[in-house]
Amino acid sequence: MPYIYVHSEEGSETTSIAGRYVIEKESEMETEFGTALVAFGFAVVDTSCCGSGGCRFAQVAGLIVERNAGTTEDGRPYSILERVRDEPQQRRIREIIDASECHCQINFL
């Protein structure tokens, strides 16, 4: 089922009680079953009571149905995406990311 994905501004930082994460960039990755939209960033846990750490991540938002479909009320661009639920498709996207980008973890929305 398609959903609305609101794009993150590159360099935007989101804070939480335990730390923060930053989106470095969004990339489109061509696959044999469509174009995947992937956000790359890093997370830092530095204000947690149980320790510190961090990682670089790839967040697969989904397959693009309609790129730049509109803007939100506050002016942020959004696209229409389809979540990647199929495990063979997830494996293929992981392979593409593994071959092209440095990361610690890959998450699918």
Indicate the pLDDT class of residue 11, thresholds 50, 70 and 90. Answer: confident
Query: Collapsing DSSP states into helix, strand and coil, what is residue 35?
Result: strand
Residue 55 CB contacts under 8 Å (≥ 6 apart), including other chains = 42, 43, 103, 104, 105
| More confidently predicted of 39 and 46 | 39
Kind plus residue range of the DSSP H or E element containing 96: helix 87-100
Question: Looking at the predicted structure, is the pLDDT value of residue 45 above 90?
Answer: no
Residue-wise pLDDT for 70-82, tens only, equals 999 999 999 999 9
Indicate the pLDDT class of residue 48, thresholds 50, 70 and 90. Answer: confident
CB-based contact 90:78 (threshold 8 Å): no
Query: Collapsing DSSP states into helix, strand and coil, what is residue 33?
Result: coil
Q: pTM for the whole thing?
A: 0.88
* CA gap 34, 8 in Å, rounded: 21
